[in-house]
Amino acid sequence: MELRLLADGVENPANRARIADVAAALGGRCVSSRDGRLIAVENVAEARSVYGRRALRGTATLAVGNERRGLSRAILGAADETVMIPTLSRSVTTLNVAAAAAVAGFYVARGSGPQAVRPHPEKRRPSVLLIGQDHIEVGSTLRSAAAFGFREVFLNDRGEGWFGGEHYRKREARAAARRHKNPLRVRRASLELAERFEEVVVITPAGPGTKLTRQRLARGRHQLIVIGLPSEDVSKLPATHVRIAGLSLETAAATRLRIVSSIALGEIARQVGQPRSKPRAAAPRGPRYDLDLKLIADGEMLLIDPDQLLDY
C-alpha cells in the first residue's frame, strides 16, 4: 500500500510544506501527477465520507485543492472517487488544506468504522487540552476544532502566539483559525487541568499506545484528551488514570500540531457522532373546500351580459 498526495493549485508555501509532511508521515510522498487510483477530497454532493472505509490496498493518489477554489474541474472529472470530511460547524465548514490532507489521508490509508449517529452526541464529547508552540499550527488546529463541532477547548500556549506575545503573531494565529467566523471558546490552561478529570487520554504521533481508532474517545466531559504533549512531559501529568493512544505516524514531521491534532479531533468526531436527522415537518395542507355542489334557485341568480362588465 502507498498513498501519494497531489497538491492541486495549493498556493501557500507553508501549506505545501505541511502537505509534504503529511505524505511522509503516512509513508508516502508528494507527486505532481496521478499514479494509480485517483481520490479527490472535495465537498460536493456525490462525495463519500472518509469514515467507514476499508484500509487502502495498492497505490492511490489523494488530491487536495486550492485554499479558496478547491480542486480544479480537471482533477474532479478524472477522479475515480471523491471523498469529503464531515464537519458540524455552521460557520467553519472546511479545514486548512494541509489538515484536510492529514485527516483524509489517515482514513483512506488506515480505514475505520463509520461515523456514529446518536440522538444526543454532544453528551459524549470529551474535553480537549491542546499544547502548542508554533502560533500558525495552533491557529490551524483551532480551525479544525471548530469545524469538528467543538465549542470550547483548553490551550497550553507555550509559544505565546495566541494569548500573549507580539501582535503580528497573534494576528497570524487568528487568521489561521478563521477567527472572524470561528465561535470557538479558547481557554488558557496548564497541565494541572488534568487533575479535574476522571480519565486522561494522551494522543501521540508515534510510539507505544493503543491504536487511535480503538481507543474510546467519546466518554463525555469527565474525559480529557491531551494533544501535542511532548513524550517527555507525559509523566508530568497530575492524573492517576492516563492512557496513551497512538497514531503510528512514521516521521518526525508528524509532530506538527495541525497534523496530529486534526486527525485526533477527526477521530473524536467520528466516535462522538452526528445527530440523528430530525423528521421532516409535514407539508402545510391547503384549504379544504366543500365538495358538494348545490343548485341555486332561479330567483337567487343574477345574469349579467358580458358587455355590461365594460361599464364597471
Q: What pLDDT, on the 0 to 100 scale, is given for residue 81?
A: 97
* In contact, 105 and 249? CB cutoff 8 Å: no
Strands 127-132 and 223-227: parallel
**Cα separation of 145 and 255, whole Å?**
18
Instruction: For 67-82, give one letter per residue: b (16+ CB within 10 A) or e.
Output: eeebbeeebbeebeeb
Domain limits, the chain: 2-110, 117-275
Q: How far apart are the first and last CA of the chain?
A: 85
Mean of per-residue pLDDT scores for the chain: 90
Pairing state between β 223-227 and 210-211: unpaired
Identical topology for domains 2-110 and 117-275: yes
Superfamily of domain 2-110: SPOUT methyltransferase, trefoil knot domain (3.40.1280.10)
Residues 6+ apart with CB under 8 A from 248: 206, 211, 212
Class of domain 117-275: alpha beta
pLDDT the model gives residue 289: 45
Q: Tens-digit pLDDT profile for the chain (312 aa)?
A: 899 999 999 999 999 999 999 999 999 999 999 988 999 999 999 999 999 999 999 999 999 999 999 999 999 999 999 999 999 999 999 999 999 999 999 999 999 999 999 899 999 999 999 999 999 999 999 999 999 999 999 999 999 999 988 999 999 999 999 999 999 999 999 999 999 999 999 999 988 889 999 999 999 999 999 999 998 899 989 877 899 999 999 886 677 999 999 999 999 999 999 988 754 444 555 454 444 445 555 555 555 555 554 554
- pLDDT reported for residue 36: 86
User: Residue 204 carries which side chain, given as an amino acid letter?
Assistant: T
